[in-house]
Chains A and B, each alone.
Chain A
């Protein structure tokens, strides 16, 4: 290794030539891809929205839903139904007996999912991105509440399939007045109620011995740190309006500001602004008094939390409805119609109602629940089959006139729980 060796030229070439390795390939691919994406993207800065007016991506066929169209639909023997959790009767092995009955009777197989947690995030994750591009969102029936904006958007954008009014015999015959021809969907053009409910006050009798007559109890400093409220602009706002003595449905932006001020006063006393998990706080006694949904408290009682009770304050309670509707991308509309009407058969409704204990859309089920299902507690509850007093106490939500209106509402109330 001492002399200067004569180096073989081929070796020299091999040592100095750059080799094209896998890594080079990747590098170039990455750079190329990046450049491509970038240029394509800069060319089209902006996102497509919903096309209004006629035509355009995201608008259903104009004939969809009229009589001729329905005449052409056939049963496909399969159905995708997306709902809120714990809204369907549960049998052994976590089956749903009423759905199994439906399948036995009609041969339609139901694919039941419970993806809906709250209206806005469902809209923003499962409806708007897909439907605005004409893509299917995967379900034939979905359930939206009338106390938040997604339902309004669905109907205003024309994204729901009009119901086949010729195939709704059960609904026409048995549906309760509370859910027929609602203000948000005149003539039930697009929706049929699944269940309704009350937003009222729940309290733990273990800690609260007084009688509850007014919503002001939620402002009582005695219960500081043990009060639960909803972290939802529409529910919170409506409660605030009730507290200052205004009827939410006819309120004005000036009222909203006043209500927001009152809610701000309450803030130091509130433990937290909850979503659906307010019920856990009540059960674990983190809160002693809370805004609540009627059916949840009922179910809690059955689970053994018998110190939890509901109260109907004199200012009133909010009455909301969860509605079934078909998005325009539904692939099995006729099966969907069949199911939606099937649920209004009093016998069927009785089974479902006995489980979820919200406000029943079929008054005739009352008798069946009382006798055949041996459940007088549910049958006689004014929270499930409202009596005249409950109907009088029930207040409808505020309907936003346009998006600016919605924005004003949100800007007024969101800072309370998001601040």
Chain B
């Protein structure tokens, strides 16, 4: 059962809770740390709260600008969400770009992480160094060099160049996240699966993927956040298209229309909903996993027999 055990350890959620002891420890873990963490989260949310609040602010000036003095509650800006020309387009462009980047970067990044962890190949060291330098390079350097590169190649600046640029810096983050997840996991699991007759494809889907799935999700989420909020690199390679951050930065100089806060609130709400949904599905999944595990534990004998007979068949 040794193979199964290590697989189990790899797959099991490592957050076995250390039972709180009496005294000091209890005070730290039950009160101080949680309070502190919630405070940090609140601190992170302060400007967001401001944004959400002021998206409902009445404005009496004839210019479409956020009114920094509170004048009254209104949902007018939500009804007129499409009122500012160019803003809605910039918003949807950003969303499209972020989704595309996330998908491409997740796929490529995962493949790259797998390659780096499992294989030795010529150029592996170079790839790793490049990955590292990619993170180490400040965005302004990346943006400027990409601009020069695209110009030299005569590539028209627009959605394509934006996508290429975003994918480029996202891949590194995805790779790192997936690799972090991968390096804690035991290769033997894969070999065991292949010994049992699984083709590489099946191994990948049924064994590797579930194990690294949280890493991929984390990396994808990071890629999405990076892409949707990217300003510096985009400002260099966007050409004539405008992404949401670019639009808002430009508007900052003269005054942001309230619809910007509306869009910001929408993104934020969607994010919170996703987080909440995740919480709920976590609960459900945990319960399902526990039920499955209980079932498996109830019939250990069968498992042992299966492996032995499988091996006999294969070895003959």
Contact = CB atoms under 8 A, between A and B. Distances in A.
A276 B253 contact: yes
Interface stretch (B81-89, B91-99, B176-184): B81-89
Nearest to A112: B85
Interface in B243-282: 250-255
Interface footprint category on A: 35 or more
A268 B118 CA distance: 59
Interface footprint category on B: 35 or more
A90 B254 CA distance: 15
Interface string B147-174: 1101110101100000000000000000
B152 A31 contact: no
Contacts of A280: 255
A137 B240 contact: yes
B154 A133 contact: yes
| Most chain A beta carbons < 10 A, residue from B60, B80, B118, B240 | B240
B20 interface: no
B115 A23 contact: yes
Contacts, number: 99
B61 A276 contact: no
A27 B111 CA distance: 9
Given A90-B62, A117-B250, A129-B147, A26 B115 contact: yes
A26 B253 contact: no
A132 B157 CA distance: 13
A19 B200 contact: yes
B86 A113 contact: yes
A375 to B, nearest CB: 13
B308 interface: yes
A22 B195 CA distance: 20
Interface in B230-250: 235-236, 238-240, 242, 250
A138 B240 contact: yes
A126 interface: yes
| Most chain A beta carbons < 10 A, residue from B86, B250, B251 | B250
A151 to B, nearest CB: 20
B213 interface: no
B123 interface: yes
Interface in A276-318: 276-277, 279-280, 284, 299, 302-304
B251 A85 contact: yes
Contacts of A15: 194-195
A115 B121 CA distance: 47
Contacts of A303: 61-63
B61 A90 contact: no
A306 to B, nearest CB: 13
Contacts of A126: 239-240
B250 A85 contact: yes
Contacts of A19: 200
Interface string B44-64: 000000000000000011111
Contacts of A48: 152
Contact of B63 (A5, A23, A90, A277): A90
B1 interface: no
A93 B84 CA distance: 8
Given A129-B147, A304-B61, A93 B253 contact: no
Contacts of A47: 148, 151-152
Contact of A7 (B83, B156, B239, B315): B315
A23 B156 contact: no
B250 A299 contact: no
A137 B238 CA distance: 12
Given A15-B195, A135-B156, A276 B254 contact: yes
Given A276-B254, A303-B63, A1 B240 contact: no
A115 B151 CA distance: 20
B118 to A, nearest CB: 8
Contacts of A93: 80, 83
Contacts of B235: 125
A23 B195 contact: no
Contacts of B251: 85
B43 interface: no
A371 interface: no
B123 A5 contact: no
B316 interface: yes
A419 B72 CA distance: 43
Interface string B90-115: 00000000000000000010011011
B73 interface: no
Contacts of B38: none
Given A7-B315, A27-B121, A117 B83 contact: no
Q: Which 9 A/B pairs are nearest by Cβ-Cβ distance?
A: A276-B253, A5-B315, A138-B240, A303-B61, A277-B253, A94-B83, A23-B115, A85-B254, A129-B151
18 contacts: A6-B315, A8-B316, A19-B200, A21-B200, A22-B111, A23-B118, A26-B112, A27-B115, A47-B152, A113-B86, A115-B242, A117-B253, A133-B154, A137-B240, A275-B253, A277-B253, A279-B254, A302-B62
Given A6-B315, A26-B111, A135-B156, 10 more contacts: A5-B316, A31-B123, A48-B152, A90-B62, A113-B85, A114-B86, A276-B254, A277-B254, A303-B61, A304-B60
Interface of B: 60-64, 68, 80, 83-86, 108, 111-112, 114-115, 118-119, 121-123, 127, 147-148, 150-152, 154, 156-157, 194-195, 200, 235-236, 238-240, 242, 250-255, 308, 311, 314-316
